[in-house]
Chain A
Amino acid sequence: MSLQSAGIGESPTASIGRVLTEGVDTTHGPILYLEDITVSFDGFKALNKLTLTVDAGELRCVIGPNGAGKTTMMDVITGKTRPDAGTAFFGQTIDLTRLTEAQIAHAGIGRKFQKPTVFENHTVFENLELAMKTDKRVRHSLFARPDSAQLDRIARTLDLIQLMPEADKAAGLLSHGQKQWLEIGMLIMQEPKLLLLDEPVAGMTDEETQRTAELLEKLKGAHSVVVVEHDMEFISSIASTVTVLHEGSVLAEGPMEQVRRDERVIEVYLGR
């Protein structure tokens, strides 16, 4: 593992890296397979035989009460936490449990955190530039200058997240909602196949929430998106399929209306 990560960080074209750059094999439909994932922290099972598949191009919402394992699931997919048991595949060929965070990001999974994390001391432009899909090795970064095509891409994203007027401002000066959009913009610049969004509208005003929903609608199709959210209204405004987690496993799955009527879901979550 150590040698692998050492080799890959420096040269993504080597060994596994070649698979990464060639893209994700989604010939069988799903882009993400989680099977029987178990993670325990000192005896407490944060995830308990979780099985979940997400189709290519799908927008999936994951809900569940606190401690249901939503964030841990994100951690497993992005390589931050290693599962004790189970398999996690991205497409048909990429085994997520064996890659580092940077390799997974390179393979095409982008993640937005619960708390907006942008580079506060960098300008909005620089944030997008850093996130942009390109050669991310040291040697390239030393001499890299954005070319015209890349500047255009950044400009398009700035328009999409409506931050063009703030492009030359330090990201730390943005409002909470703007930071959330910037983070989504950074994910878009990464051109991921799969986007993981952890509570993208937490702390947003109604108007901001609505604009975020529109933003996500635009992403649907080009990217697969997994959204973890508490805001039920927001979910019903965007979601086609909803997965309910409870105590580390899937409790129910299906269209929003069907899940809303599920007795067990009402008991553990909605009916509180």
Chain B
Amino acid sequence: MTNPLAWIARILACWLAVSSSAFALDAQTVGKLADDDNAAKLQAIAALANSADPAALPPLQALRDGKLYVTADGRALIDAGGSVTDAATGQPVQQSLAGLEPIGINNRVRGALDSALSAFALFSPDRNTRLNAARGMESSTSESLLNMLNKALEKETDPEVRASLEQTRAGMQIKNPDPRAKLEAIKVLGQSNEQRTKTLLLPLLEKNADGTFVEPDAKVRSEAEYAVKMIDRRVAFSAYAGRLFAGVSLASILMLAALGLAITYGLLGVINMAHGEMIMIGAYATYVVQYLFKTQAPGWFDYYPLAALPVAFLTAAAVGIVLERTVIRWLYGRPLETLLATWGISLFLIQLVRQIFGPQNVEVANPKWMSGGIEFANLTMPYSRIVIIGFALFVLLITWLLLSRTRLGLFIRGVTQNRAMASCVGVNTRRVDLIAFGLGSGIAGLAGLALSQVGNVGPDLGQSYIVDSFMVVVLGGVGQLAGTVYAALGLGVLSKLMEPYIGAVPTKIFILVLIIAFIQKRPQGLFALRGRAVEA
């Protein structure tokens, strides 16, 4: 009983014996599940498992969960949460369970049930169930399962499940004394990405007390050594790739958060301390859209991000435009005062959102197509993160097109470089300021949309990103999108690469020190325009 897999082997043996006969779930076998004798129970479990019939699953599961009852006439019934079904037929029956006791099981039976249920899963028509079952067996090395694995492999067509099963089989074969079987197993194991596979290979390289190798065959040893090296390399690579992915993911968020800031700072020379709150507003706008979809049109729920896109942009842009009109416009040429006034705006907005939505975080559910992720080696890349990276690139592209290909962009670039001159040649700089401010705020709103998919949405959301996005702008310099992109990428990737070694807070401090050191060399950031020193 200590090894549930032994039971799987026994089940398998029975199953092989009867595999040719088509098996219908018969009431007698199911009834035996209720037998007082544990041996009879075990037999029934084995027989049901052998059937590989999906219909056998509910009674087994019910037995394990203590939801299987037996009537006086020996019929087994399942408590299907409110309704009652017949265990043998699966049909609902009109019978009360009142007065009946659920069938009790001991640990031995429970172990057998677990094994049977997981063995079932290997033959399930659903690919993911099979994959999970195969994964669950990977750590086992019991040779008694070998036959069953072979059987499953015969039928298995899915490459991923096959690979997993083959790994398990190779783990068993490695103990085979035949060098040829061993070599074959080593070859298979060498393709693994898992650290633990190494523990199967390493014994082959060990030495006895007298200095001779445990494994006599030199070829086997050298192959094993090579396989271990390959595994090491792959494990290191996937850990590295994972960090890189996390870094790029962080960078995409930083870039979204900083892009709008860089535009407004470049244009107006003022830092908008309420920029973080524009992000927050975008996130809350997304929340509202999500909420409306959930309550009004649940069928369309998966499409809510598409609807949230313009809403988040326009809401944040509208708030930005109002601020520019009412406050910031009056402070041009006084950048430090603007800093303070916009900080006041941010306090105001935070409190406003607290009053409307409450101080707690609100829950923004992901649409279904964003849950899950791509698995690559032993690294999972969530779809939500991938979508955000793509989204950030999309926003970047649009912004770039807007700035470089449109008349508005020409005006914005012109005013950024020389306000007085642009004004002289007839650009309405006031209007350009207003539109650019709206644009910058709108992009912040889009950042809020993105953030709502991966993090908490609360009134303080903006505050937690504002310092980082300032750092991006300081590092990247102004007036060039490229600076923002490279700075975000550099800061994001660098901090994620460093975090595993020195921790999150020291990384932040280190990066701050790095930025200050960097500014020593290039005070105007990465991509400043150099020119004659006209400023006096």
Which positions in A face B, CB cutoff 8 Å?
A: 41-42, 46, 71-72, 75, 80-81, 113-115, 117
Roughly how many angstroms separate A72 CA and B536 CA in the complex, as a whole number? 13
Roughly how many angstroms separate A113 CA and B535 CA in the complex, as a whole number? 10
B424 within 8 A of A: no
- Report B-chain residues with C-beta under 8 Å of the C-beta of A72: 532-533
B531 within 8 A of A: yes
Contact call B536/A41, Cβ cutoff below 8 A: no
20 chain-A/chain-B pairs, Cβ below 8 angstroms:
A41-B530, A41-B531, A41-B532, A42-B529, A42-B530, A46-B532, A71-B532, A71-B533, A71-B534, A72-B532, A72-B533, A75-B532, A75-B533, A80-B533, A81-B532, A81-B533, A113-B536, A114-B536, A115-B536, A117-B536
Interface string of B397-414 (1 = CB under 8 A from A): 000000000000000000
Known: A80-B533, A115-B536, A117-B536. 11 other contacts (CB 8 A): A41-B530, A41-B531, A42-B529, A42-B530, A46-B532, A71-B534, A72-B532, A75-B532, A75-B533, A81-B532, A81-B533
- Report A-chain residues with C-beta under 8 Å of the C-beta of B536: 113-115, 117
- The residue on A at minimum CB distance from B529 is A42
Roughly how many angstroms separate A165 CA and B536 CA in the complex, as a whole number? 28
- Report B-chain residues with C-beta under 8 Å of the C-beta of A80: 533
Roughly how many angstroms separate A39 CA and B517 CA in the complex, as a whole number? 26
- The residue on B at minimum CB distance from A41 is B530
Roughly how many angstroms separate A42 CA and B529 CA in the complex, as a whole number? 8
- Report A-chain residues with C-beta under 8 Å of the C-beta of B531: 41
Number of interface residues of B (CB under 8 A): 7
Roughly how many angstroms separate A80 CA and B534 CA in the complex, as a whole number? 10
Roughly how many angstroms separate A32 CA and B390 CA in the complex, as a whole number? 59
B residues 501-536 near A (Cβ < 8 Å) are: 529-534, 536
Roughly how many angstroms separate A42 CA and B524 CA in the complex, as a whole number? 15
Roughly how many angstroms separate A115 CA and B530 CA in the complex, as a whole number? 21
Roughly how many angstroms separate A46 CA and B536 CA in the complex, as a whole number? 18
- The residue on B at minimum CB distance from A40 is B530
Roughly how many angstroms separate A161 CA and B225 CA in the complex, as a whole number? 90
Roughly how many angstroms separate A21 CA and B529 CA in the complex, as a whole number? 37
Roughly how many angstroms separate A115 CA and B536 CA in the complex, as a whole number? 8
Q: Which DSSP category, helix, strand, loop or mixed, fits chain A's interface? A: loop
- Report B-chain residues with C-beta under 8 Å of the C-beta of A71: 532-534
Roughly how many angstroms separate A228 CA and B335 CA in the complex, as a whole number? 33
- Report A-chain residues with C-beta under 8 Å of the C-beta of B529: 42
How far is the CB of B378 from the nearest CB of chain A, in Å? 47
Roughly how many angstroms separate A178 CA and B531 CA in the complex, as a whole number? 30
Roughly how many angstroms separate A75 CA and B533 CA in the complex, as a whole number? 7
Roughly how many angstroms separate A46 CA and B534 CA in the complex, as a whole number? 13
Which positions in B face A, CB cutoff 8 Å?
A: 529-534, 536
Roughly how many angstroms separate A41 CA and B533 CA in the complex, as a whole number? 11
How far is the CB of A269 from the nearest CB of chain B, in Å? 19
Roughly how many angstroms separate A81 CA and B536 CA in the complex, as a whole number? 13
- Report A-chain residues with C-beta under 8 Å of the C-beta of B530: 41-42
Roughly how many angstroms separate A80 CA and B530 CA in the complex, as a whole number? 13
Roughly how many angstroms separate A109 CA and B285 CA in the complex, as a whole number? 61
9 nearest CB pairs, A to B: A113-B536, A41-B530, A80-B533, A117-B536, A75-B533, A72-B532, A41-B531, A81-B533, A115-B536
Roughly how many angstroms separate A75 CA and B531 CA in the complex, as a whole number? 12
How far is the CB of A186 from the nearest CB of chain B, in Å? 14
Roughly how many angstroms separate A148 CA and B529 CA in the complex, as a whole number? 49
How far is the CB of A118 from the nearest CB of chain B, in Å? 11
Roughly how many angstroms separate A75 CA and B530 CA in the complex, as a whole number? 14
How far is the CB of B240 from the nearest CB of chain A, in Å? 36
How far is the CB of A126 from the nearest CB of chain B, in Å? 19
Roughly how many angstroms separate A81 CA and B534 CA in the complex, as a whole number? 11
- The residue on A at minimum CB distance from B536 is A113
How far is the CB of B133 from the nearest CB of chain A, in Å? 63
- Report A-chain residues with C-beta under 8 Å of the C-beta of B533: 71-72, 75, 80-81
Roughly how many angstroms separate A46 CA and B531 CA in the complex, as a whole number? 9
How far is the CB of B524 from the nearest CB of chain A, in Å? 13
Roughly how many angstroms separate A80 CA and B536 CA in the complex, as a whole number? 10
- Report A-chain residues with C-beta under 8 Å of the C-beta of B532: 41, 46, 71-72, 75, 81
How far is the CB of A13 from the nearest CB of chain B, in Å? 27
- The residue on B at minimum CB distance from A42 is B530
- The residue on A at minimum CB distance from B531 is A41
How far is the CB of B530 from the nearest CB of chain A, in Å? 5
- Report B-chain residues with C-beta under 8 Å of the C-beta of A75: 532-533
Roughly how many angstroms separate A113 CA and B533 CA in the complex, as a whole number? 11
- Report B-chain residues with C-beta under 8 Å of the C-beta of A117: 536
Roughly how many angstroms separate A113 CA and B536 CA in the complex, as a whole number? 7
- Report A-chain residues with C-beta under 8 Å of the C-beta of B534: 71
Roughly how many angstroms separate A72 CA and B534 CA in the complex, as a whole number? 9
How far is the CB of B70 from the nearest CB of chain A, in Å? 88
How far is the CB of B522 from the nearest CB of chain A, in Å? 14
How far is the CB of B482 from the nearest CB of chain A, in Å? 14
How far is the CB of B519 from the nearest CB of chain A, in Å? 14
How far is the CB of B375 from the nearest CB of chain A, in Å? 47
How far is the CB of A104 from the nearest CB of chain B, in Å? 14
- Report B-chain residues with C-beta under 8 Å of the C-beta of A114: 536
Roughly how many angstroms separate A81 CA and B533 CA in the complex, as a whole number? 7
- Report B-chain residues with C-beta under 8 Å of the C-beta of A81: 532-533
Roughly how many angstroms separate A114 CA and B534 CA in the complex, as a whole number? 9
- The residue on B at minimum CB distance from A81 is B533
How far is the CB of B119 from the nearest CB of chain A, in Å? 70
How far is the CB of A6 from the nearest CB of chain B, in Å? 13
Roughly how many angstroms separate A80 CA and B531 CA in the complex, as a whole number? 12
Roughly how many angstroms separate A72 CA and B456 CA in the complex, as a whole number? 53
- The residue on B at minimum CB distance from A76 is B533
How far is the CB of B334 from the nearest CB of chain A, in Å? 15
How far is the CB of A214 from the nearest CB of chain B, in Å? 26
- The residue on A at minimum CB distance from B530 is A41
Roughly how many angstroms separate A71 CA and B536 CA in the complex, as a whole number? 12
Which one of B530, B531, B532, B533 has the highest number of Cβ atoms from chain A below 10 Å of its Cβ? B532
How far is the CB of A171 from the nearest CB of chain B, in Å? 15
- The residue on A at minimum CB distance from B520 is A2
How far is the CB of A107 from the nearest CB of chain B, in Å? 19
How far is the CB of B235 from the nearest CB of chain A, in Å? 45
- The residue on B at minimum CB distance from A113 is B536
How far is the CB of A272 from the nearest CB of chain B, in Å? 22
How far is the CB of A198 from the nearest CB of chain B, in Å? 9
How far is the CB of B116 from the nearest CB of chain A, in Å? 74
- Report B-chain residues with C-beta under 8 Å of the C-beta of A41: 530-532
How far is the CB of B203 from the nearest CB of chain A, in Å? 59
- Report B-chain residues with C-beta under 8 Å of the C-beta of A46: 532
Roughly how many angstroms separate A223 CA and B487 CA in the complex, as a whole number? 49
- The residue on B at minimum CB distance from A111 is B536
How far is the CB of A114 from the nearest CB of chain B, in Å? 7
Roughly how many angstroms separate A46 CA and B533 CA in the complex, as a whole number? 11
How far is the CB of A205 from the nearest CB of chain B, in Å? 23
How far is the CB of A56 from the nearest CB of chain B, in Å? 27
How far is the CB of B521 from the nearest CB of chain A, in Å? 11
How far is the CB of B172 from the nearest CB of chain A, in Å? 67
- The residue on B at minimum CB distance from A112 is B536
